[in-house]
Amino acid sequence: MREATVALVAATMLLAPLSMLPASATEPRTVELACPRGEVPVPSFEDIGPPHEGAVACLNGYGIAQGRSADRFVPNSPVTRAQFATFVHGVLVEAGVAPTSDGSGFDDVPESYVHAEAIVSLASATPPVVRGHDDGTFRPTDPITRQQAASITHRALQVADAGPPESDTECRFSDRSEISPAHRDAVHRLCEHGVATGRADGSFQPQGSILRGQAASFVARGLDVLVSVGGVEPPFPIRVEVLAEGLDAPWEVVEREDGRLLVTERDNGRILELRDDGGTRVAHTFSDVQAPVSTGLLGLAAEPGGDRFYAYYSSTAGDNRIVRFVPGGPEKVILSGIPMGDFHNGGRIAFGPDGYLYVTTGDVTPNDSSSTSYHEQRLPVGDPESLAGKILRLEADGGVPADNPFGNEVYAKGFRNPLGLGFDAAGQVWATEMGDRDDDEVNLIQPGAHYGWPHVTGADTGDGRYVPAVFVRQPPVASWSGMAVADQDLGFADEGDLLVGALRGQRLWRLVPDGSRIVQAESLLVDQIGRIRQVVPDREGGLYVLTDNASRGIGIFNGDAVLRLTAR
């Protein structure tokens, strides 16, 4: 199983990418890293790419590497002595060992200068981390050379009592004679431990200048050294592991009894089984899936205690239906005739603690509030005889439970497009609903109740006729899809917390319930892994997540991915 590549600090080797290591240089250290593979930082800048993107994002997560603007880092611009000093000072601040200035400074570094604090602080260290010239100047706008950067980094690690340990590895550059004696020890010591590397031709080019992206990688490796000796805590509390990438619109994930994962792909009607090496194999294909817009193969659920599965998909016959099957075997339709449209088909299915199968269905109508028939088209969602805009409740064979409120499959009504289901320890049913232009809802489901669509949204009760949402947020931070209830302490969520994936909001919501109320809400992984389609707790204290990025051009992963989140 591979870990996320977006935080690949280990491969963003200070002065050259790993692919350009000279034969004499060593491999990267295997110590714990500040932003190890699997720690997904905020992809802050649109203009940063390989090989330095992980380092830049990592330092930005610590607040060390700032951009020229909110979306631009300008990685190919030269670095000055003052700018590099600020990077290194940020590392020592994180380690809690930044020297306190004694008030001395340089003639050309006024107190008002943006980099003055960093320069004066580093100059006050014993021995000094940065040094000036004989005339009492620092020359802050001069470009910094590769060998100067090595010496400053080496001295900073010594101040933090975290200098690289002795090594038997000898690092020889073809141009080692050109390295100034004042910098030679620092260059070779850092090279021996994979902190500083040379060019593809085996040279170090000590007098050459470095760019912002290269400098960020240099400083990120300095952070790695401090983490390895316990001087710095990682900035990201959640580890993100990529289990599989390159998927085609994944919609649901189910963990089998043997621990293997099955994932539905909406647009091609396939169920994939994930292999341990990150690859997949086709476990089942539905031949009659119709997927023009938001229809297709949607929900999947495993029969409790059995080897059969249930799938919800849009059929070429013109309806949404639920089938029961064993992967690779025949299919049996247990419910057909669920209204189907290009939009708002619901599709989440899950077995509740009562042993019944719960199903979400949508109003199957487009987003066109300007239409004169806008509300009229949606009126069936309040009709208990229609299966549109409902939460259904079925027996395992498709039969109707005796205590269903309307004597048919309908359990609750009045929904636009519910896409998430969860069940808490008290047996309560929770559901997420994607709003229209406002009011994305989390609802606590009561049998027979009407949840307001299309008449009211959010907390509006319509003078007591409808059940208000328990929790409401707006689409820019929400646009909810799948949800789950944590069945154990996950480290980043407590047992009983609701975990809700946001599409447009690009975050994971943690909601803390107290009975029928939500008393606390927290956003996690904001803009870090993109759009979240589904979340499912695993048996080992983690959380499976499906992304929905590829169709929107969000290139955080290689296509859409299955992730596993765990606490550090």
CATH code (residue 271): 2.120.10.30
**Rounded to whole angstroms, how far apart are CA atoms 207 and 211?**
13
Range of the domain at 50: 5-228
3 state DSSP class of 7:
helix
Q: Which of 173, 194, 228 is the last residue of a domain?
A: 228
Does residue 234 lie in a domain region? Answer: no
375, 513: one domain: yes
3 state DSSP class of 192:
helix
The pLDDT of residue 166: 55
**Rounded to whole angstroms, how far apart are CA atoms 191 and 23?**
12
Q: Which of 196, 228, 260 is the last residue of a domain?
A: 228
3 state DSSP class of 349:
strand
CB 192 within 8 A of CB 24: no
Beta carbons within 8 Å of 172's beta carbon, 6+ residues apart? 24
The pLDDT of residue 27: 39
183, 299: one domain: no
- 3-class DSSP string for 216-251: HHHHHHHHHHHHHCCCCCCCCCEEEEEEEEEECCEE
Does residue 412 lie in a domain region? Answer: yes
144, 260: one domain: no
Both tokens of residue 275? 């292999």
3 state DSSP class of 94:
helix
3 state DSSP class of 190:
helix
Q: What is the CB neighbour count within 10 angstroms for residue 49?
A: 11
247, 137: one domain: no
Q: Report which residue type is found at 33.
A: L
Angle between helix 116-123 and 81-95 (nearest 10): 70
149, 261: one domain: no
404, 333: one domain: yes
CB 334 within 8 A of CB 397: yes
Q: Which of 228, 250, 272 is the last residue of a domain?
A: 228
The pLDDT of residue 173: 86
Per-residue CA distances from 14 to 40, 71, 217, 344, 484 (Å): 19, 22, 4, 49, 41
State the burial class of residue 102 (Cβ atoms within 10 Å of its Cβ: 0-12, 13-18, 19+).
exposed
How many separate domains does the chain show?
Answer: 2
291, 222: one domain: no
| Selection from 511, 542, 546, 522 nearest residue 532 by Cα | 546
The pLDDT of residue 370: 60
174, 310: one domain: no
**Rounded to whole angstroms, how far apart are CA atoms 440 and 479?**
6
Does residue 498 lie in a domain region? Answer: yes
Q: Which H or E run includes 148?
A: helix 146-159
**Rounded to whole angstroms, how far apart are CA atoms 532 and 508?**
7
Half-sphere exposure of 425 (CA within 13 A, CB side): 10
Residue 238 backbone phi and psi in degrees, to 5 = -115, 130
State the burial class of residue 82 (Cβ atoms within 10 Å of its Cβ: 0-12, 13-18, 19+).
buried
CB 76 within 8 A of CB 211: yes
State the burial class of residue 175 (Cβ atoms within 10 Å of its Cβ: 0-12, 13-18, 19+).
middle
Q: Which H or E run includes 116?
A: helix 116-123
219, 248: one domain: no
CB 76 within 8 A of CB 45: no
3 state DSSP class of 523:
strand
Conformation bin of residue 97: beta by default, left when phi > 0, alpha when psi is -120 to 50: alpha
Angle between helix 181-192 and 146-159 (nearest 10): 70
Does residue 237 lie in a domain region? Answer: no
**Rounded to whole angstroms, how far apart are CA atoms 406 and 400?**
10
**Rounded to whole angstroms, how far apart are CA atoms 80 and 140?**
7
Q: Identify the bridge partners of residue 310 per DSSP, sorted by sequence position.
A: 301, 324
Radius of gyration of the chain, Cα coordinates, nearest whole angstrom? 28
The pLDDT of residue 5: 29
From first to last of its 568 residues, the chain has per-residue pLDDT tens of 333 322 222 222 233 322 222 333 333 333 456 776 556 565 568 888 777 877 888 888 788 888 888 788 999 999 999 999 999 999 899 888 898 876 668 999 998 999 999 999 999 998 899 999 988 899 999 999 999 999 998 898 888 887 555 555 567 788 889 999 999 988 888 887 667 777 778 888 999 999 999 898 888 888 877 776 666 777 777 888 889 999 999 999 999 989 999 999 999 999 999 998 889 999 999 999 999 888 999 999 999 998 999 999 999 999 999 999 999 999 999 999 999 999 999 999 999 999 999 999 999 988 766 666 766 788 899 999 999 999 999 999 999 999 999 999 999 999 999 999 999 999 999 999 999 889 999 999 999 999 999 999 999 999 999 999 999 999 999 999 999 999 999 999 999 999 999 999 999 999 999 999 999 999 998 888 889 999 999 999 999 999 999 988 887 788 899 999 998 7
pTM over 0.85: no
192, 322: one domain: no
Does residue 235 lie in a domain region? Answer: no
Alpha-helical segments (H) within 33-102 = 53-62, 81-95
Work out whether the CA dihedral 400, 405, 408, 414 comes out positive or negative: negative
Beta carbons within 8 Å of 425's beta carbon, 6+ residues apart? 485, 487, 495, 496
Q: What share of the chain is helix, strand, coil (3-state, %, to 5)?
A: 20, 25, 55
**Rounded to whole angstroms, how far apart are CA atoms 463 and 315?**
39
**Rounded to whole angstroms, how far apart are CA atoms 229 and 160?**
10
**Rounded to whole angstroms, how far apart are CA atoms 255 and 258?**
8
The pLDDT of residue 335: 98
Both tokens of residue 73? 């880092």
Q: What is the pLDDT of residues 173-196, one digit of tens each?
A: 888 899 999 999 888 888 876 677
Beta strands 270-274 and 390-394 are unpaired
68, 125: one domain: yes
- How distant is the alpha carbon of residue 440 from its chain centre? 21
139, 281: one domain: no
